[in-house]
Structure 1
Amino acid sequence: MNRTVRRVVVGVDGSAHSLAALRKAAQEARRHHATLRPVLVYSSPMGDYIDTLWPPDPRTARELDRAAYRRLVDSCERALGGLPADVRCAPTTAFGPPAPLLVQASGEDGDVLVVGDGGHGALHRLLKGSVSRYCLRHCDCPVMVVPPAGD
């Protein structure tokens, strides 16, 4: 395994926790002269379970992807003042369950995955699981979990 950091992959969903993770990921990308890869994973308004049974038609899928990309760029604007000019940046979106897709997105040699510590309550973790815990258990690359601001 190569120890050189080539890409810093960061999960972004627009929440305050993910914006803190995005800021930290940008710092790490600058520090290592690596590519910053913000990833926004989305599903349709019907939810993950319905999406697996009845995936959206191609037109709806394109609309969902465009809306997700706009949310990703907006998140970069809120966290970083826009897509950073001082570091290579490769924003991307993915459709499906967040945790497995973040693990998949950070599967190359030289990747580091950065995720926010979601800050959801016990009921949410019970019903949906914890993205950060899933990534820690399943990622082959180093994972950095960024705590909420002020913690």
Structure 2
Amino acid sequence: MPEALTRTIVAGVDGSQGSVEALRWAVREARLSGATVRAITAWEVPATFGYIPSGQGVDWAGEARKALDNAIERATDRDESAPVAGAVVRGHAADVLIEASRTADLLVVGSRGHGSAVGLLLGSVSQHCVQHAECPVVVVRPRPE
């Protein structure tokens, strides 16, 4: 009998409410399908008007890790959640998620994230992922208020 393959769902996370909802959706899907979830936060030093801030004293990767850990905590139910592994990757969010899609069975993103000042995941990232990912993509839209 062939070995069962473990499905992988990648979720793009930037700490915004939209990305937490996307991660929550990915966790529910993983629970139903027996998949594991890789929650990925991309980070890069933001450039404003062509100038890159010195960033002295700023732990960009550490701040991204805090945002990711907080999002995982907000999106998961400790008793019923599927396994979630977090990863913090330096690079532009769209590029990082497209690369991750090469080994994923599904990519899940929110429809709108933080703006470029926060610099982790933009609304245009979901559109880029839909057009270029190497696996199916689910875009989770915010719930109507």
Task: Give the TM-score band, short-chain normalised.
Answer: 0.7 to 0.9
User: What is aligned with 1:78?
Assistant: 74
Partner of 1:16: 17
Instruction: Report the equivalent of 2:100.
Output: 105
Greater mean deviation of Cα atoms: 96-105 or 112-121: 112-121
CA distance in 1, matches of 2:51, 2:34: 41
Change in CA separation of 1:26 and 1:50 when aligned onto 2, cut-off 3 Å: farther
Query: Which secondary structure state, in structure 2, belongs to the residue aligned with residue 87 of structure 1?
Result: coil
Q: Shift of the alpha carbon at 1:33?
A: 0.6
* Greater helix fraction, Structure 1 or Structure 2: 1
CA–CA distance in 1 between the matches of 2:46 and 2:111?
24
- Alignment correspondent of 1:124: none
Residues 66-98 of structure 1 deviation map (CA, whole Å, 9 limit, x = unaligned): 22112100111222256x774222110111111
Are 2:44 and 2:92, in contact at CA under 8 Å, matched by a contact in 1? yes
CA distance in 2, matches of 1:87, 1:120: 26
Over the aligned positions, Cα root-mean-square deviation in angstroms equals: 3.1
Which residue of 100, 118, 128 maps to 1:134?
128
Query: Is 1:96 equivalent to 2:97 in the alignment?
Result: no
1:19 partner amino acid:
V
- Could you tell me how far apart the structure 1 residues matched to 2:34 and 2:127 are? 27
- Per-residue deviation, 1:119: 6.8
Aligned length: 134
Equivalent position to 1:87, from 82, 85, 102: 82
- CA-to-partner distance for each residue in 1:89-139, whole Å, 9 max, x for gaps? 21101111111111111211x520000111789xxxxxx771111001101
1:46 to partner: Cα distance: 4.1
Output the TM-score relative to the length of structure 1.
0.74
CA–CA distance in structure 2, aligned partners of residues 50 and 33 of structure 1 = 45
User: What SS class does the counterpart of residue 141 from structure 1 fall into?
Assistant: coil
TM-score by length of 2: 0.76
Structure 2, unaligned runs of 5 or more: 116-121
- The 3 A distance-change label for structure 1 pair 66 and 21 is same
Query: Identity of paired residues, percent?
Result: 38
Determine whether 1:114 maps to 2:108.
yes
Q: Does 1:147 align with 2:141?
A: yes
Gaps of 5+ in 1: 122-127
Distance 1:33 1:81, change over 3 A: closer
Whether contact under 8 Å (1:41, 1:93) holds in the other structure is: yes
1:40 paired residue number: 41
State the AA in 2 paired with 1:75.
Answer: A
Quote the Cα distance in structure 2 between the aligned partners of 1:33 and 1:69. Answer: 26
